[in-house]
Amino acid sequence: MSEPDRSALPDRGPLASTSVAAHLTRGAIGFGLIAAALVLTTSRGPAALLFAPFGLLALRGCPTCWIVGLIETISAGRLRRACTDAGCTLAQPERQV
């Protein structure tokens, strides 16, 4: 079994968004829906908890997944992975003028 070519990996991680603004918008929607589910439970009953799955869907998983995605979104394109037989290193990409 051969090892996959790591130099062909995309710059963004699986939890990253296309922009920081889009990621923050998803976070506001996700955390807002989760907060609404918890707050409205006292006045509307357990049916209000139906907001929570949609909040988790907006966050692409748990709140920790959203934070990891934010870090991946911020760092996307700032570092490049260069892998050889000796191992992998991180380097800044060459700037095009």
Instruction: Give CA–CA dist 4/81, Å, rounded.
Output: 14
Over residues 9-33, mean pLDDT: 86
Residue 85 pLDDT exceeds 90: no
Is residue 8's pLDDT more than 50? no
φ, ψ of residue 76 to 5 degrees: the values are: -60, 130
**What are the phi and psi torsion angles at 85 (to 5°)?**
-65, -25
96: left (phi over 0), alpha (psi -120 to 50) or beta: beta
94 vs 45, more confident: 45
Residue 57: count of CB within 10 angstroms of its CB = 13
The answer to whether the pTM exceeds 0.85 is no
> According to the model, what pLDDT value does residue 90 have?
75
